[in-house]
Structure 1
Amino acid sequence: MKNQVLFFLICLLAGSLITSCQKDNKQGSATKPNISNDVMALIKAKGFSTSNVHAVNGGYLVEGDIFLSTKELNKKGQTNKVRVAKTEQYSTNNLVSGLPRVITVSVSNLGSAFIQGTDLAIQRYNALGLRIQFQRITSGTADITIQGFYEGPSGGYITLGSSGFPDDYGNPYNLVQMNTHPDAYGSNPNVQYVGSVIQHEIGHCIGMRHTDYMDRSYSCGGDPVDEGDGGIGAVYLPGTPSGPDANSWMLACSNGGNRTFNANDIIALNYLYQ
């Protein structure tokens, strides 16, 4: 997810694969030279963008916001994708199973805006009546923990949050990290903005990829980029519009404010979890 605020290109980070969402002002920017051609081929085969790949501890950040662990990168498997018209909803190969299911969420050592933002995100998901429901808990071990990290801008970018994809056993990714640096959300974070970022990151935790995976120019600007499906297939959802959809909660780049589910997002989530 991207956003431009005070000349910073603001990105979300999500992982778990870990995922994050990052803003790229220039599509197809240079990749760090320590990424081998073999690794780049594996990333492309997974159906991820090979632009702006970064080596990090334990794996690689791709698409500005998705962490692919070395183990996951080398694992073979079929990925289910949910396609909504030209702007497409994508799920990962792993989804949350054992439905109906209540997914518990805790907030660890974060301020009131992050707690309220978590409650807002939970409220929005639960209002859909899916077979996954979310519940914030204040004690015990949660299925998803939301915690902070502190990291300032680097090279014109700042990370807003990070999360990841479900594991091989049908569990949601267990960690959402939110940036507490003042350049991320300011000294008085807006609850709806924070909640929208958490809502996006939880989307990754339950298996959603970016809506504009096939054309990131919808939310990120720059030239359209179509990475193809990486040989992993797609499931089209009938009855969805044929034109671009600029308001999805899973767009790669943020609008810098409040963003929740639109009609096509609800269709995609119902397809997976209703």
Structure 2
Amino acid sequence: MKKLNQLTVAFRRMLTISFLIPILLTSCKKEQSPIADDASHSKNDEVYSTLLKKGISPTMIQDLGGYYLVENDLLVKKQGTDLIALKSFLDPADNSSEAVSSKTKASNPKKAQTRTPNLIFSSNSGVILYKVDADYTWNSAIQKAVTNWSQISNTTVNFFPVMDGTPTDNWIIFMNDGGILPNNVIAAAEFPSNGEVGFRVRINLDFNNNQQVSESGKIYNMVHEIGHCLGFRHTNWQQMNENQDGASLITGTPQQDGSSVMNGGTALNLWNGFSQYDILATQTIYPYSSLDKWITYPEQKLYYDISSNTVRYAHIALYNDDKVGVNWNPNLVNTGAINVYLYQNKKMVKMVGNNIPNLGTYSFDLPNNLYTAGGHNFYNLQIKIESVSNQNLSDMTSFFSVMVD
């Protein structure tokens, strides 16, 4: 949550627990929060008891009818509906010294930047889909913000725009808030769950009585919100008095980082790049494995092309009887031969190369059973190569597209 003057507003997510990240300018009147009107449940239920056991002060648990508002940005449904998700969110990801506990967070904080227990699976971090369904005036800022994250070096994080239909998993939708967010909340996002990226970023188009937000300000806010979707919590959690039970400290980050894009209370900041510790934190929680760079083509990080005002991603144009090519580093893995597989929408379509000599290049025809959009365009494709002698040695590309003319 990003806020100014440490004042907070929450809004309701329709289903179960909502980890919403409001960016606040001023406080919001209680009646502005569209919370369920179920106020009949007492505070002696299991949800309330769990919150107290996790070290959360009763003063930081606000009764909003059918929900509890916790630490100003966590909305929890009563009567145990969200109990499993709540425990997952509050429990440390592991028992290592990287986990923050309520006993040590105030007395001996060693590092500042934190993440949620739930991160994106390694199989998903390089193939995050996104869709812009917001006002066009935010479009370029969103595209640039997504690019900023994908362009961090030595990390698997990569994005691919939704080109056809509606995805079923691991995607972010950027959308207008439809009047849900209060006047002083500019945007809200969600944390990862079930190994997938946080699903939604809502944007308040009439923020602060239609205050004009610059392109740089929009980029900053979208970069911040995407950070939450990737699993980052606030860097300055101590100054904001946020409870960090369930947050894991990220190795190598300092006690304070005034330049971090993940600081809360920065709603009016302008984009000025990531801090060195933002970059380190991303590289730490989403690192490349030793085989992630085995394939060299088609493999490309998404980037924003200023000349065309569009994003660019791995794309192959084929003509007549052209074949699809894949290149890899033949010296990276000690194997005599590889198998090559073609995937679409994360499902294997076909083995397109069997016992191929480990020479670093191979070409193949597109299978006839690929799903095509518009007859010429094939989206969400991936190529996997695998050592014939050891199936544990493999690499898979991020998404790419093919156009056949």
TM-score between both structures, scaled by the size of structure 2: 0.51
Alignment-derived partner of residue 234 in structure 2: 210
Q: Which runs of 5+ in 2 are unaligned?
A: 28-34, 101-108, 288-405
Q: Which runs of 5+ in 1 are unaligned?
A: 27-31, 217-224
Contact 1:10 1:159 in 2 (8 A): no
The 3 A distance-change label for structure 1 pair 235 and 52 is closer
CA distance in 2 between counterparts of 1:10 and 1:151 reads 17
Contact 2:234 2:264 in 1 (8 A): yes
> 2:166 is aligned with what amino acid?
T
Which segment drifts farther, 122-131 or 44-53?
44-53
Contact 1:92 1:208 in 2 (8 A): yes
Q: Which has the higher helix share?
A: 1
Contact 2:120 2:197 in 1 (8 A): yes
The 3 A distance-change label for structure 1 pair 245 and 74 is same
> 1:254 is aligned with what amino acid?
T
Contact 1:52 1:63 in 2 (8 A): yes
The 3 A distance-change label for structure 1 pair 269 and 91 is same
Q: Count the aligned residue pairs.
A: 248
Alignment-derived partner of residue 222 in structure 2: 198
CA distance in 2 between counterparts of 1:18 and 1:270 reads 24
Contact 1:173 1:205 in 2 (8 A): yes
Contact 1:22 1:63 in 2 (8 A): no
Match of 2:187 among 156, 161, 171: 161
> 1:271 is aligned with what amino acid?
T
Root mean square deviation of aligned Cα:
3.8
TM-score between both structures, scaled by the size of structure 1: 0.72
Offset at residue 264 of structure 1 (A): 1.2
Identity of aligned residues (%): 22
Alignment-derived partner of residue 136 in structure 1: 161
Alignment-derived partner of residue 276 in structure 2: 263
Q: How does 1:30-41 map to 2 (within 5 A)?
A: 36=43, 39-41=47-49
Which segment drifts farther, 203-212 or 38-47?
38-47
Alignment-derived partner of residue 147 in structure 1: 175
Alignment-derived partner of residue 115 in structure 1: 139
CA distance in 2 between counterparts of 1:14 and 1:247 reads 31
Deviations for 1:203-246, whole angstroms, at most 9, x for unmatched residues?
12121111122331xxxxxxxx364x43x4744513x445x222
Alignment-derived partner of residue 220 in structure 1: none
> 1:19 is aligned with what amino acid?
L
> 1:191 is aligned with what amino acid?
E
Alignment-derived partner of residue 254 in structure 1: 266
Alignment-derived partner of residue 251 in structure 2: 237
SS at match of 2:189: strand
SS at match of 2:131: strand
CA distance in 2 between counterparts of 1:127 and 1:82 reads 28
